[in-house]
Amino acid sequence: MAEKQKKSIFKRWWFWVIAIVIVISIITSQGGGDDRKEVAGNDIANQVESNNEDNTELAQETKEVQEPERTEEPQEVGEPVEPVVTDEEETTGTLSQKNAVRKAKDYLSIMAFSKSGLIEQLEFEGFSNEDATYAVNQVDVDWKEQAVKKAEDYIKLTPFSKSGLVEQLEFEGFSNEEATYAVNQLNVDWKEQAVKKAEDYLDLTAFSRKGLIEQLEFEGFTTEEATYAVDEIGLK
């Protein structure tokens, strides 16, 4: 009987009071936790945003340091440089002297000259002796080589003896040294030159054997060369 008189725990009033209090406590604690979670989330978001702003400012500052300041006006690159004038005649001398230098170069590009011969030619063109001499001294010329060229030109035009060609070059204004050097540079058979000269003379007028030999010797051929030439053309 005693056991029957006991009420179930679920039917006791104080049990339900305690249960209600516990439930309310749990609900309250859960609500506060959500608030704390929300606050914590906001703090984290704000910190991330702040870090992003700091990183952006740092990136902009770094970019400003790395990239040079741009200007609206384009920079000039690779402008052509004026050529440097190195010829002495372009920087010194009077206008007349510069023209004399140009004329001297023009003549040397056409034909060979001795130094004195080129001065005379420039004077013939109307330049003063002073300007002509100045011009010839300005040009870079090997006068021995000019003598060689002049000797080759003469040999192409008409036959010469060796001594006769030296004299002709001296007449052109070359020194004996320059003329002799030039003639020695030529690859010439002087006996054949004597034959050609003998034929030229016979084309102009008649000669005896002796007279033609003497004429060739007068031209500078040796007796051996003159005799060889007369024999070759058949003059007995």
Minimal CA–CA distance to 218: which of 163, 174, 170? 163
Cα separation of the two ends of the chain: 192
| 13 vs 42: CA distance, rounded Å | 44
Minimal CA–CA distance to 229: which of 202, 191, 189, 190? 191
Cβ pair 147, 182 in contact under 8 A: yes
180 vs 3: which has the higher pLDDT: 180
Minimal CA–CA distance to 190: which of 163, 153, 171? 163
Instruction: Please tell me the predicted confidence (pLDDT) of residue 236.
Output: 86
Confidence of residue 93 (pLDDT cuts 50, 70, 90): confident
Instruction: Please tell me the predicted confidence (pLDDT) of residue 28.
Output: 57
Residue 49's identity, in one-letter code, is E
| 155 vs 143: CA distance, rounded Å | 18
Instruction: Please tell me the predicted confidence (pLDDT) of residue 91.
Output: 55
Q: What is the sign, positive or negative, of the torsion defined by CA atoms of 84, 90, 91, 95?
A: negative
Helical segments of the chain, H only:
2-5, 13-66, 88-91, 95-110, 115-124, 129-138, 143-157, 162-171, 176-185, 190-204, 209-218, 223-232
Average confidence (pLDDT) over 76-101 = 62
Instruction: Please tell me the predicted confidence (pLDDT) of residue 113.
Output: 98
Per-domain residue ranges of the chain: 92-141
User: Within a 10 A sphere around the Cβ of 21, how many other Cβ atoms?
Assistant: 10
pTM, 2 dp: 0.61
Instruction: Please tell me the predicted confidence (pLDDT) of residue 92.
Output: 80
DSSP one-letter code for 114:
-
Kindly report, residue by residue over 119-175, the tens digit of the pLDDT: 999 999 999 999 999 999 999 999 999 999 999 999 999 999 999 999 999 999 999
Kindly report, residue by residue over 11-63, the tens digit of the pLDDT: 454 555 555 656 566 555 555 544 444 444 444 344 445 544 554 454 454 34
Fold observed for domain 92-141 = Arc Repressor Mutant, subunit A (1.10.10)
Is residue 88 pLDDT above 50, yes or no? Answer: no
User: Within a 10 A sphere around the Cβ of 93, how many other Cβ atoms?
Assistant: 17
| 204 vs 11: CA distance, rounded Å | 171
DSSP one-letter code for 10:
G
Minimal CA–CA distance to 148: which of 184, 193, 191, 108? 184
Percent of the chain with pLDDT over 90: 60
